[in-house]
Amino acid sequence: MCGILGILPALDSRPFGRVLEILAHRGPDGQSIWQEPEGRITLGHRRLAIIDRSEAGVQPMTRGHLTITCNGEIYNYQEIRAELQKLGHEFHTQTDTEVLLAAWQEWGPACLPRLNGMWAFALWDAKKEKLFLSRDRFGKKPLFFHQRQGRFAFASEMKALVPFLKKVEVSEEFSLLKDDLFGYEPTEKTLIQGISRFPAGHWGELEGNQLKTQSFWNTLDHIHAVPKSYGDQVEEFREIFLDACRIRMRADVPLGTALSGGIDSSATMCGMAQVARSGSNPGYPNQWQHAFVASLPGTALDESREARIVTDFLKIPATFVQIDPIQGILELEDMLFQSEEIYITSPVPMMQTYRAARQAGVFVTLDGHGADELFAGYDTFLFHAFRDCGLNPFSVHNLLQAYRNLAPPDQPQFAKPAAGWKDYLRWVTDFESWAKMKGHWGIELKKAFADQRPIRPGQNKVTDPGQLGSLNQGLYQLFHTQNLPTLLRNYDRYSMGSGVEIRMPFLDHRVVNYLFSVPWSSKIRHGATKALLRDALRPYLPPPIYQRKWKMGFQTPIVEWLKGPWKEYFQDLLAEKSFMESDFIPVQTVKKEITRIIQEPGVSYREGELAYAALSPYLWEKAVLKRFEALHREMQS
């Protein structure tokens, strides 16, 4: 896990090194630069040493005529290494990077579907005089590039490409992108003119000054038949998930978990414990059992009690990170600069949590990200399943109960709109009036009842998401083109800002393939979401966590903070001349909404989130765009 940088034609190592240092937070364990003798390319690497921490693991790494700089981890490198050794390959390090190089030597781009991991890498083939780039299936690791006047540069973050720009300008489509915060991440578009995003699930080669990309992964090609018996599905999923945890525990450094007390992170932590008990994972460190819990006392978002249930059940050490809003506001602009993007909530609780992990000597966490997008953890996506259940009264009742149960108990600020049989009939018969009455919930329902082709039982391959069934179709879009790419981007920045690597068992492609192959009824059962996960991990989870049906997202308690410790900062911000003159937001509307959140009682969390999101483009202008401009001036001097 690292930061990578490269440029063609080659750049002198001194100015190149200055740019590479911009990515120091991603790789605090060292910096290395490699330049081809012919001067065609310069590659750089900031190292976060996780596997084979010796000097043998330093990148850029050369094997024969191939040189690579890679950000990420190949979790099944031991299995691939054994396969390559049978084919005659010899190895001189214990790294997954050398295995990746040998795999490319043996199979070329055809090696990519064999990899189980997360990666963004650049590989220079001196024999072919070509640069190859690749990014993992789902875009867990970032990769950006810039092309101008015969120059091609790439980097792990946009800020490292800023010095190569002629001028720092916002994208020509900025006004659209800032209003579609979950829509642009899966595309090549970015907020900065002249910087593009390399697509997930692709590899590409640079021919002349043209980057030609090709997809190597489509989840729809890997949908497969599953047992009809729900009990058999539980057994199969358990085996796949535990193996996903097992190979992600391979490291030469201590491991931990960012634990919330919800089912996703708890399943991950308890899955790790089961793997350790089984003794089936040679290669995991002795120090793996450390939980880091974001504690937000006095707010509706605090889940310390639930997290404590898990850590007491497993008898493992836990660090309850007291999230400090005062320190957070002092560092907010620095955190936003690290994040680089506009988003609906502040990065403060997340970045403070991963910083605490680093300070405790934990450089890798296994976290539960991705489960909501696979199991319908978001309330609005339950509506997609109504088409799947049709008019079956038992199925409809199950869905209505699951919807109600997602609201945290005794917390009116998170309450759902009332949902019952009359509402269901209204959903079926009158989309427009429901949309007007219930806003986003009605809009999602209308999408759910759009024309779709039903799934064909036993089918091993589908050609479009519409064949997955209504719920899985909605989740497919959420997973591949909406929430998940944005979430992955954010957590990469949250953790790598402190030099911490996140591994995600739910993003194992075998897990993803399986969960898009099972029917909706395996995900929502007995009035609860994530049924298959609950039942598969039930033997290893404490009963209160297994039985918990409500969901609480990991967010900033924005309403409480705006009314309390952040009040003065935001009131001063609203009075700034630059705020009043900003072209990035409707100034008076945003000022009115933030003031209302600060002053009025009984404001819901959703209202606070919307107000912060409306202000976010100005915060981005102040903390990111202005700093990009200053960075550009500094690096040009």
DSSP string, 450-519: S--PPP-TT-S--SSGGGG-HHHHHHHHHHHHSHHHHHHHHHHHHHHTTT-EEE-GGG-HHHHHHHTTS-
Q: Do 425 and 390 share a domain, yes or no? A: yes
pLDDT at 422: 56
| Structure token pair of residue 583 | 């072209």
Q: Is 38's pLDDT higher than 80?
A: yes
pTM of the model: 0.91
The 3-state DSSP class for residue 84 equals helix
Q: Of 159, 183, 217, which residue sits at a domain end?
A: 217
How far apart (Å, rounded) are the C-alpha atoms in residues 265 and 541? 11
Residue 529: partners with Cβ closer than 8 Å, 6 or more residues away: 375, 376, 377, 382, 402, 406, 523, 549, 551
Q: Do 344 and 451 share a domain, yes or no? A: yes
Burial class (CB in 10 A: 0-12, 13-18, 19+), 580: exposed
Q: Do 360 and 340 share a domain, yes or no? A: yes
Q: Do 213 and 250 share a domain, yes or no? A: no
Q: Do 412 and 516 share a domain, yes or no? A: yes
Q: Do 584 and 544 share a domain, yes or no? A: no
Q: Which tens digits make up the pLDDT trace of 54-108?
A: 999 999 999 999 999 999 999 999 999 999 999 999 999 999 999 999 999 999 9
Q: Do 539 and 590 share a domain, yes or no? A: no
How far apart (Å, rounded) are the C-alpha atoms in residues 331 and 334? 5
Amino acid identity, residue 313? F
| Cα angle 401-403-409, degrees, rounded to a multiple of 5 | 85
Q: Do 527 and 613 share a domain, yes or no? A: no
- Strand 151-155 to strand 117-125: parallel, antiparallel, or no bridges (unpaired)? unpaired
Q: Do 269 and 204 share a domain, yes or no? A: no
Q: Which domain holds residue 570?
A: 558-636
Q: Of 172, 199, 217, which residue sits at a domain end?
A: 217
pLDDT at 221: 94
pLDDT at 411: 59
Cβ atoms of residues 619 and 336 within 8 Å: yes
Q: Do 198 and 276 share a domain, yes or no? A: no
Q: Which of the four pLDDT bands, split at 50, 70 and 90, describes residue 399? A: confident
Q: Count up the domains in the chain and report the number.
A: 3
CATH number at residue 386: 3.40.50.620
Q: Do 341 and 211 share a domain, yes or no? A: no
Q: Which is it for the CA torsion 427, 428, 433, 435, positive or negative?
A: positive
| Average pLDDT, integer, range 603-610 | 92
Burial class (CB in 10 A: 0-12, 13-18, 19+), 90: exposed
How far apart (Å, rounded) are the C-alpha atoms in residues 105 and 448? 46
CATH number at residue 180: 3.60.20.10
Q: Do 471 and 612 share a domain, yes or no? A: no
How far apart (Å, rounded) are the C-alpha atoms in residues 101 and 51? 15
Q: Of 502, 525, 553, which residue sits at a domain end?
A: 553
